[in-house]
Structure 1
Amino acid sequence: MRFCDECGSMMHTEGDAWVCRSCGHETLRDSEQEAAMTTTQGQSDDGPVDMSDVDDAEVGPTTKQQCPQPDCDGERARYEMKQIRAADESETRFFTCVECGHKWREDDH
């Protein structure tokens, strides 16, 4: 992958050139430079990772959080925080109940 020197957008290959679809900047392709780039082509997809033998303590942090499932009394959940909205907005918190495995998310409004 290559980024435009003019505007920073991702560039695309068109023939023997890299072309920015945002500003139109073009640069010639360099086969040596491209050989050093990492791609997903040829990488194997081994499918989902089997977590059945992993201790819950090794999976990640937990917090006191009431599971929203009506038939679950779970009070602890694993959590993960991700920035999925604009950088000036707070992160989204993703929870997984350690009792029933139910997943939910919380956003600041």
Structure 2
Amino acid sequence: METCDECGSMMSSMGDEWICRSCGFNYSDDPGASEDTIETVRNEKSERRSTQNELAKVRKKLKLVTNTVIPLSCPDCSEEGVSLEIQDNSSPEFVCEKCDYRWKPDK
């Protein structure tokens, strides 16, 4: 069974052609491909899966951070209890648990 180079989903074999069921990416088996070429492709796929697994672990850790209350005082209401919120493509923000005031950490 092959995995898609574009999206990582499982591919189906139709004769000498492999087609991704999810994104439609396809390629043909090359009967003249050398074992070195085939092994290189397998290694690249393995490295890509490894990188995707590492990214998933980092994302999981970041979610844990965002759910943690930090013992800091809010600059707006002076109450203690702040969470760190990290969103995709955005810099992190502190959020007061009491008044919902938001601010960026000092750099």
TM band (smaller chain): 0.3 to 0.5
Task: Provide the TM-score with structure 1 as the length reference.
Answer: 0.34
Relative to the length of structure 2, the TM-score reads 0.35
Larger relative helix fraction: 2
Structure with max Cα Rg? 2
User: Greater relative contact order (Cα 8 A, min sep 6): structure 1 or 2?
Assistant: 1
